[in-house]
Structure 1
Amino acid sequence: MTEQTIATAAGDDPAAGMRAVRALRDLADRLEVLQVERARGLGWSWQEIADALGVSRQAVHKKHSRRP
């Protein structure tokens, strides 16, 4: 992602803006998976991860517990 993507997301063209929003959302999702896996590998509890993400333990466990 670049500053250009962020600028596009806030721009006047709704189609381009929506594509940029989707790209940013996809990036955030990939980063979340990476960091949750890293935290679990380091022994973090589901509660610690949930607190860091600002969600419930149940939500983060449901979303990520099925990953190897």
Structure 2
Amino acid sequence: MTSPKQLPDAKHPAQALAAVLTLRQTADHLERQAVAAALQQGWSWSQIAEALGVSKQAAHRRLSDVQAAAPVRAGGKRP
């Protein structure tokens, strides 16, 4: 993981803003992977929302499409 000491200083806006974009994309990707894993393990949207520090509605609204990424079981059926 990149430590804050390795991030560009805000005095260099082009580099700092590029880092912000990369961090957001990385965080979004990790969040979606973690939500998919949580759903696969049987977590509720309430549990996911609590872990993310948002309301159940906010979590579901933003991430409900992740549910479709659940693995397909034998026979072609989703869990």
Same-fold status (TM-score > 0.5): yes
8 A contact 1:5–1:20 mirrored in 2 = no
The Cα RMSD (Å) is 1.9
Q: Is the 8 A contact 1:6 1:20 kept in 2?
A: no
TM-score, length-scaled by structure 2? 0.74
Unmatched tracts of structure 1, length 5 or more: none
Q: Which has the larger radius of gyration?
A: 2
Give the % identical residues.
Answer: 43
SS at match of 2:26: helix
Count how many residue pairs are aligned between Structure 1 and Structure 2: 67
- The TM-score, its normalising length taken from structure 1, stands at 0.85
Equivalent runs, 1:20-31 vs 2, <5 Å = 20-31=19-30
Q: Any stretches of 5+ residues in structure 2 without a counterpart?
A: 69-79
Q: Aligned ranges for residues 39-50 of structure 1 at < 5 Å?
A: 39-50=38-49
